[in-house]
């Protein structure tokens, strides 16, 4: 082999080595941003709200989602999917103790499970009280009233004086039913509504309404009249007709009847 050929081979080898090093360097520079990005978003998956949810709402599957939070931002009270893989299913039906914004993580203690302590208190609107009354099927729309339905409260009592007259009047209107016996959730399955056999109904009342109900319960028999679902002009279900702090003026007699004993 001549000296010229040897020089050509050496130059070619050097060029090949240089090209190989250049290609490797370019590959390493391309991987660096991707690796840095992966490291930047590394964290833990936690349970969050998929949309805005008000206080006292029972969570549905569409309310819950999972989001990746940086490890340094994950508080001990967050619900971590790594520790509870079935968290999205486990918290369906839980009631929020406060309002949540979309994307906000759910914390331990901010929601109450249906079988947990404080579940009913979490469902109460601010300023309202939960008051229980004894009921029977015949005085509760035949057993077809369900939790979260709205009712009118009727009191029926015999008139004073020893005669046969019986007076009946609506003392409270548009009252929310919180629970019937041990049932606290509205029926969502089945082709027909189930008849609820309950001896106690729990109502959501203002302080003044609770006083009126207690007084009326001593005067006669309490009945619940189921109200239909009403929708306003923009398609939103109406809110509570009464607000905390309103006095007895917020309670009006809707109907009053006098029935003789012989016509009953």
**Taking a C-beta distance cutoff of 8 angstroms, is the pair 115, 127 a contact?**
no
CATH of domain 43-121: 3.90.1210.10
Rounded to 5, what percent of the chain is helix, strand, coil?
30, 30, 40
| Chain centroid to CA 77 | 19
Task: Specify the range with the lowest mean pLDDT, choosing from 26-40, 94-108, 195-209, 248-262.
Answer: 248-262
Residue 125's pLDDT is: 76
- Is pLDDT above 90 for 64? yes
| Residue ranges matching CATH 3.90.1210.10 in the chain | 43-121
Is residue 27 classed exposed, middle or buried when 0-12, 13-18 and 19+ CB atoms within 10 A define those classes? exposed
For residues 99-116, average pLDDT: 84
Radius of gyration of the chain from its Cα atoms, rounded to whole angstroms: 33
**If you search the block for the tokens 């839980």, which residue do you land on?**
94
Backbone angles phi, psi at 101, to 5 degrees: -95, 155
Residue 41's pLDDT is: 61
Give the count of beta carbons closer than 10 Å to the beta carbon of residue 154: 20
For residue 66, the cross-strand partners are 47
Per-residue confidence band for 205, with pLDDT thresholds at 50, 70 and 90: very high
Residue 237's pLDDT is: 41
The mean pLDDT value of the chain amounts to 74
Which of 24-33, 137-146, 254-263 tops mean pLDDT?
137-146
Residue 257's pLDDT is: 41
- Is pLDDT above 50 for 234? no
Task: Specify the range with the lowest mean pLDDT, choosing from 92-106, 113-127, 234-248.
Answer: 234-248
Tens digits of residue pLDDT in 6-59 = 676 666 667 667 766 767 766 655 555 555 554 556 789 999 999 998 877 888
Residue 220's pLDDT is: 85
Higher pLDDT, 245 or 172: 172
């Amino acid at each position: 082999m001549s000296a010229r050929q040897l020089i050509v081979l050496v130059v070619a080898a050097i060029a090949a080595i240089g090209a190989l090093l250049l290609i490797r360097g370019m590959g390493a520079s391309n991987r660096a941003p991707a690796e840095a990005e992966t490291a930047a978003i590394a964290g833990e998956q936690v349970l969050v709200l998929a949309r805005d949810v008000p206080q006292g709402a029972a969570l549905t599957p569409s309310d819950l989602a999972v989001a990746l939070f940086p490890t340094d931002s994950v508080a001990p009270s967050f619900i971590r999917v790594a520790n509870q893989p079935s968290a999205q299913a486990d918290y369906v039906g839980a009631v929020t103790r406060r309002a949540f914004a979309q994307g906000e993580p759910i914390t331990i203690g901010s929601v109450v499970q249906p079988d947990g302590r404080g579940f009913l208190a979490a469902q109460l609107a601010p300023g309202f009280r939960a008051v229980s009354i004894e009921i029977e099927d015949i005085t509760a729309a035949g057993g077809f009233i369900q939790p979260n339905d709205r009712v009118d409260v009727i009191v029926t009592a015999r008139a004073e004086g020893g005669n046969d007259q019986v007076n009946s009047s609506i003392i409270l209107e548009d009252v929310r039913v919180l629970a019937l016996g041990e049932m606290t959730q509205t029926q969502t399955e089945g082709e027909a509504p189930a008849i609820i056999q309950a001896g106690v109904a729990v109502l959501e009342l203002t302080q003044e309404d609770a006083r009126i109900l207690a007084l009326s319960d001593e005067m006669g028999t309490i009945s619940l009249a189921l109200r239909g679902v009403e929708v306003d002009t923009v398609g939103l279900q109406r809110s509570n007709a009464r607000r905390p702090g309103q006095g007895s003026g917020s309670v009006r007699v809707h109907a009053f009847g006098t029935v003789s004993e012989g016509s009953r």
